[in-house]
Structure formats: C-alpha cells, structure tokens
Amino acid sequence: MARSPLHAPGPGSGRAARTARLLWPLALALALATFLTAAALIARYGPVAPALGTGVAGVAAVALLERLRRDHRAALDEARRQGELVAARDEEAVRREARWRAYAEEQAGHVRDELAHLLKERLPAATSGTSGIPPAGPAAAELAGTMPEVPGLLDRLLAEVAQEAADQAESQRLSLVELASRVQTSAHRIQATVTGLAERFPGDTDLLEATMQVDHAATQQARHAQSLKVLCGEWPGQQWQKPLALVDVVRAASGRIVAYRRVTVSGEPDLGVHASVVEPLVHLVAELLANATEYSPPRTSVLVTVRAVQRGAVIEVDDGGLGLDEYRLGHAREIVSGRRLLGVGEVGEIPQTGFAVVGRFADRHGFQVDLGPSPYGGVRAVVLIPLELLETLEPAGARVAAPPAAPPAAAPPAVPVPAPAPAAEQPAPPARERLRRAPGSRLPQRRSRRGEGPGPGPAGETPAGPAAPAPGTPEEAGDWMDAFFAGGRGEPDPPPAGPTDPHPHDSADPPEGQP
C-alpha cells in the first residue's frame, strides 16, 4: 500500500542526511590532502615545515570530524524522532480506521435490520391492501439520530409501493368484475334464447329437456361469474319480490349445482326468509351444496335439514365424504364464518372459491356459518339465519282450502302438480299435460305454493318433497324438473318488471355421478 503523506519523514531529517553524506567524503578528502601536503613539505623543506603543516591539518581534520560527529548524531536523533512520529501517526490511523469500521458496520446492521423488517412485515401488508401497516422497526430509531434520511426514504418507498400495488389491485379488480359481468350477461342471454326456443315448440318434449339442460348449464355459469364478482367486492344486484321458504331456498340453491338430484331436503315448510336476503342465502347454500356433492361419493345423497332454533333457523348440510382433519377443518371454519375474508387473489392457483364466497356472504348479511364433523362421516355445514331475517309463512293447506279462481279466458288450463311419492315411483302423465306457461317466465314453470295466493290444486296439497330418482324418458325428465324447481328465476341487476314469483327456476343438466 502506498504511504500516505501522514507517513512521510519531515524536512529536517532530509537535510541532516544530506549533510552527513557530504561531510564524510569531505573529511576523507581533507585527510588525504593533509597527508600528501605533509609528505611534500617534508621532501622539500625539511622536518620543521612538515610538522607545522601536519599539525595544522590535524587540527582542521579533528574539527571537521567533530562537526561531522555532531551532525551525524543530530541526524540520527531526528530520524528517530521522525520514526516515532510516523509510528504514532500510523497507530492513530489504525485506531481511527477501526472506529470507522465499527461505526459503519453498526449503521449497516441497523439498515439491514430495518430493510428486513420492511420486507418481511411492512411491505407484504402494504401490497396486500390491509388497513393496518406495521410501524417501523426499532432499528429506525437508531438510524434517526445518525442517518435521519434513511427512515424517511424507506417510508416514502413503502408509501409509493403500497399506492402502486393498490392501483394495480383496483385495476385488476375492475377488470375481473367487468369480465364476470360479461360472462353473467352471456349466461342470461343463453337462458333467454333457450326459453324462447322452448316457447316456440311447446309440444316437443325432447327439445324441452335439451333446453332445460342448456338453461341449467347457463345457471351454473352465471353462479360462477357471480362468485367471482363477490370475491372482488361486488354484490348481487338482483332482488326477490317476496319472502321465500327455507326449504325452497335449498331447492333453488340445488338447481344451481351440477349434482342437484343428489340433494335431499327436509324440514319445516313454513319458515321463510326476508326477500332482501333470499338471493345471498340461495347463493351461499348453493356453494355449500356444490362442495358437499363434490366431496361425497357419487352414489350418495347430500342431506339438508331445515329447522327452527331459539336464535332463528338453521340449514344443516351433511355430506358423506371423508371429512377434514383438525387443521384443515379449523382453517375452513375461519373462512366460512367470515372471520378471515379471502380475496380473488387468495383462492389458490386452482381456485377454491366456495368457502371464500360463503364467508363473504356471512360477513355481509349476518349469517352464522360453521363446519363440524357429520354423523355420516363427512362434514356438516350449519347456517344460522338470525330471527330478524325470518318470516313465518302461511301454511300451504290454508291457502288451498278456498275454491280456485277461474283462469283468464286466453290462458290454457293448468293442471296441479302433485308432490313426488316418498315410496315407489308412480307413473307420470305426459309432461305437456302438467306444464303450464306463466306470463313473463322463461321456461315452463309449476305454480308456486307460496307467494301466489290460492292454487288450483286439491285441498291438503303439500310442498314437493325430496328429489325423486332420475326419470328415464324425456317426458318424465321434463315433468320431474318442472316439479322440482320453483318458478320465476331471479333476474340480473336491475330486475326487470314482469314475473313476481319469488321462486327462481333453475333448469338442470345430467348430474355428475348419476346413481
């Protein structure tokens, strides 16, 4: 390493060294000259003069040698002092460098600690869009006294990153909502098209079955699109006109899944829910039914029970799957209860949206949803609807006691639809004799037992029971699907004027894992 100016010798030591280098040759030359002079004088003048010259020369030589000795000693002393000074300066430089290294390492450690805290704690919270961002770490307080610009720079950097992440997330959210709305609109167009096709050919039962299957597939497409919108913070704009019985809520929800024929519902038929929360509750139950049918063996039924409790009413969904271990069950309970709300970016690479959508609806509308072991070996989902959201509906038998009102002259006669028999399957009349056209409806509908007033059926008519086995002919398929689904499917936002029947009609396609 090159010697710095701090280590260079002083000017005095240089002069002493030069003087010493000049005096030694001069002294030698003088001694030699003295010797030669003495020899010459002795040879020419005799012994007196040489002796005198020799004495003078000796005195001069001694004087010069003494001067040389003193200068040499002074040079040595100066060199020693300069060496000591250089050593002291070197030691001071080493001490200063050590102190600087320690200080720099300490400050670098504080910066590293604060950057680690920023990357592990603050930055993820800022980019995730959570409301609370953790404060700066303890290292920031140390840096504030020595390098106050560093904490401020990190705070500005974090704010810019958070704002950029929020802008990107909002842009992505709006894009997803728009795409989901387009998909949902496309599904409604498909439903309108097949409805018109069915109305043009009312006597073609094969076409009726095909249109119902297409309508059911479009219904599932609309449900998935609506689930995506819910995860993006949007909510269903469609509204039901009247309260709906909870058993009919379950039936309407089962019409939005693939394996609707595997759903068996039982319970109190006169427990109803307010019209304002019918659509959210139908969607919530549909997600639970879809999950239950997906994770149950294909030939098993998903049992749904509706009953009143002291705090309201519950809908219990039992599947016959393998269940969940303790860790996964606890994680799922956090999600479905709404205690942990998941966004569209947190449902995984293979999206598992069902529980996330359930949690969103539970958090928004006050439903209490929980999961637990089912006595059938799988998982039991329990949905508690609070008392303030419930209504007691008029019993079906009280409405059919009065004589039926005469239908309009232009309307075709309607034939009542009996409930499916719980035991052996009874022969069904042709579908065309049992279906009617409701004004403004999309596909053939059955008369609602709630919300339309007295029906044309006989006294004592009861709501439809659990799903019957799959029919084997197109006529039976059309008849069975008409008896299963409620009429008047909910309309997209805004709901158009027309049908006021609160029972949405969801057609069905062949179920997965047909028993």
Q: Is the pLDDT of residue 29 over 80?
A: no
Q: Is the pLDDT of residue 514 over 60?
A: no
Say what the pLDDT of residue 24 is.
63
Torsion of Cα atoms, 422 then 428 then 433 then 435, to 10°: 40
pLDDT at 55: 65
User: Rounded distance, CA 250 to CA 264, Å?
Assistant: 9
How big is the chain, counted in residues?
515
| Residue boundaries of the structural domains of the chain | 5-128
Mention every residue, 6+ apart, whose C-beta is less than 8 A from residue 217: 509
How much is the pTM?
Answer: 0.58
Question: Residue 436 has what pLDDT?
Answer: 36
Confidence band for 368, pLDDT divided at 50, 70 and 90:
very high
pLDDT digits 0-9 by tens, 173-225: 888 888 988 998 999 999 999 999 889 888 888 999 999 999 999 988 888 98
Asked whether residue 109 carries a pLDDT value surpassing 50, the answer given is yes
- Burial of 133 by CB count in 10 Å (0-12 exposed, 13-18 middle, 19+ buried)? middle
Lowest-confidence pick of 27-41, 213-227, 487-501: 487-501
Q: Does residue 417 or residue 258 have the better pLDDT?
A: 258
Residue/partner pairs of 227-230 with CB below 8 Å, 24 or more apart:
227/283, 227/287, 227/353, 227/354, 227/357, 228/176, 228/177, 228/179, 228/180, 228/344, 228/353, 229/176, 229/177, 229/180, 229/181, 229/184, 230/283, 230/357, 230/360, 230/361
What's the whole-number mean pLDDT along residues 25-46? 68
- Using an 8 Å Cβ cutoff, are 308 and 329 in contact? no
Q: Specify the higher pLDDT residue, 268 or 444.
A: 268
For the sheet with 390-392, list strands across it.
244-245, 271-273, 390-392
Residue 298 pLDDT greater than 70, yes or no: yes
Dihedral pair phi/psi, residue 338, rounded to 5°: 90, 0
Residue type, 114: E
- Mean pLDDT over 270-288 rounds to 93
- Other CB atoms within a 10 A radius of the CB of residue 53 amount to 17
Query: What is the mean pLDDT of the segment spanning 457-474?
Result: 38
The values of phi and psi at residue 378, to 5°, are -100, -130
pLDDT digits (tens, 9 = 90+) for 300-323: 899 999 999 999 999 999 998 888
What is the token pair recorded at 326?
A: 């303790």
What pLDDT is attached to residue 293?
Answer: 92
pLDDT digits (tens, 9 = 90+) for 112-169: 888 888 888 788 877 776 667 777 777 777 677 677 777 778 888 888 888 888 888 8
Q: CA nearest 481: which of 210, 156, 107, 150?
A: 210
Tell me, what's the pLDDT at 420? 37
Mean of pLDDT values over 413-427: 34
**Does residue 252 register a pLDDT over 50?**
yes
Per-residue confidence at 281, pLDDT binned at 50, 70, 90? very high
**Does 51 score more than 70 pLDDT?**
no
Only one residue has tokens 């102190």, namely 99
Least Cα distance to 126 among 150, 157, 153 occurs for 157
The CA-atom distances, in angstroms, between 402 and each of 460, 462, 468 are 11, 15, 29
Please provide the average confidence, as pLDDT, over all residues in the chain: 73
Provide φ and ψ at 271, rounded to 5°: -85, 120
| Residue that is written with structure tokens 């509906």 in the block | 393
As a whole number of angstroms, the distance between CA 312 and CA 369 comes to 13
